[in-house]
Structure 1
């Protein structure tokens, strides 16, 4: 497993990170709790040292379940991040008061003394000025108090990251669905983050199953054209004796400009498979062929959050 420095934080992350959203049953029901918890062991045993969660995942369930495991693991064996500000589908609270409460609750749930990173979660849903003027200053107080080592923002549109990076001091940003075989818009953030010494983390290499052989969930916002083109790319991988999910994972973790790429599952066999894929060489020829198939939908994205916080549609 490769390990990379995260900006100026002093933290070093595994190229593959474990996303604990699945422990909160965020995307599908967890049928076997023991198996779900075993995912943490499999990840750590496979060299993954970065675990990401959020108060939103399972409305706290993900953090609670991590609290069943993390207190028994030496603290220097894992880097832990969580998120605050989003607490349900429509409930957002980025007030300074809630920042302090949320940090304390996350610490208690997970049974740790410090949080390596705390992100403002899905900030595209709220007024950006509040994040700059109230939320991030409150998080800096938590950092000064020693409860948090690094602070940052997470979300979907590139526009809101640029807004924050231009107006506030952050240590790290976490982007998802924007550095994949289909969408590489997050590359826009690389020179900005480098100049400012801000760490950059990628997540969701499979683009919510779009870049897999699995059926898309009902909530997926992919258009009929996007679904059709992605299916052609997946079929091409099958004809070559490969799996588009494998290619997607390898592609997303290969770029050293991103300290880590986060993805998660409640299936320990799946986590073990990802670790194996991460160690195998990528088929560059197949990458080129798949990206050529995906050209008609290159950098397609959907609208998330407030319209004014979103990027301009691809024309």
Structure 2
């Protein structure tokens, strides 16, 4: 029986450390990770694909080991994807084992709480579930105690469901599914699939990227973002709508995602300590509001919450035509 995966409602996504979304000052990661731990965030999600993120995170956690030993937080990493192109994938059992060992060294740990097959839609089904493929090796590593939970991550929900079904049918269900950009202000498809995952033996479902990889924020989306021009324009108009009401689209997007309690945790990329504090404040306000609702207490901040909900509803209505739409992954 596995140790309970008692992760915080917000998990820290470290893909942000590679500077893909926006420039990151050298001192920011240390400050952000320290602040996250101080404020109760206890899960960190990374990958070899995220540039030097594993190395940066490992160095930081090692420097904090006296205050925060390895047992005080959870670590998740990924295998299979090592670059931006299709040829950068290697799901072979040999490479999977090597990859986990390399990640252990970079992160100064002898085990991982979760290891995901990264972006499963980019490779053949056989690479994922076959005899010489990634999942077989990850489950072997789980038996050896080097992994607590085996997971899969990717964008197309139908692919994640299909792999979960295969593993369920063979009596070796996937432990964790990581979905991204499928529960956010412009897309809530995950909500219609979560019970399917649980029926297939998936213990935990994680929701990542409530900002939809930098689309739902004040600044324009990154150039590499797969959203079509029409969706980019819609997001930009929503940012202006929020700004007109004295609010930030990024804050509203985080709030919207955190209110979805069916997932185990929401993974958010934080560039700096201030962003960590803003995320935690959003979560704290939600908790206070629920306590007050039960007690019949009304606070001044409830008015702000009502205003935010009105704007969120306006954004959701404006984004309605995109709600069940997903971009193609992998791209043509």
Q: Same fold (TM over 0.5)?
A: yes
Partner secondary structure for residue 88 of structure 1: coil
Larger radius of gyration: 2
Structure-2 residue corresponding to 1:37? 30
Q: 1:182 to 1:158 in 2, by over 3 A?
A: same
Matched residues, number? 297
- SS, match of residue 97 in structure 2: helix
| 1:303 equivalent in alignment to 2:328 | yes
Partner residue, 1:84? 79
Asked whether the equivalents of residues 151 and 172 of structure 1 are also in contact (C-alpha less than 8 Å), the reply is yes
- Which stretch shows the higher mean deviation, 135-144 or 19-28? 19-28
| Partner residue of 2:252 out of 234, 247, 250 | 247
How far has the Cα of 1:97 moved from its partner? 0.4
CA distance change for structure 1 residues 25 and 212 in 2, over 3 Å: closer, same or farther?
A: closer
Cα pair distance change 1:306/1:27, threshold 3 Å: closer
Name which of 92, 95, 98 aligns with 2:95. 98
1:67 offset after TM fit, Å? 1.5
Q: Which 4+ stretches in 1 moved above 4 angstroms?
A: none
3-state DSSP of counterpart to 1:83: strand
Please point out which of 102, 121, 124 is paired with 1:124. 121
Structure 2 unaligned blocks of 5 or more? 168-172, 287-304
CA contact (8 A) 1:26 1:57 kept: no
What are the residue-to-residue correspondences of 1:45-64 with 2, within 5 Å?
45-58=38-51, 61-64=52-55
Contact map agreement 2:189 2:323 (CA 8 A) in 1: no
Counterpart in the other structure of 1:311:
none
Structure 1 gaps of 5+ residues are 1-7, 308-315
The higher relative CO (CA closer than 8 Å, separation ≥ 6) is in 1
Give the structure 1 partner of residue 297 of structure 2: none
Distance 1:228 1:121 in 2: 29
CA contact (8 A) 1:125 1:306 kept: no
Per-residue displacement from partner, 1:117-169 (whole Å, max 9, x unpaired)? 00000111100122012211110010011100001100111111011111012
C-alpha distance in structure 1 between counterparts of 2:174 and 2:331, whole Å: 22
TM-score (normalizing by structure 2): 0.85
| Deviation, structure 1 residue 197 | 4.2
Counterparts of 1:280 and 1:145, CA distance in 2: 42
The reply on whether 1:289 has 2:286 as its aligned counterpart is no
Structure 2 CA distance for partners of 1:306 and 1:216, relative to 1, 3 Å: closer
Question: SS of the residue aligned with 2:150?
Answer: strand
Aligned-residue offset at 1:192:
1.4
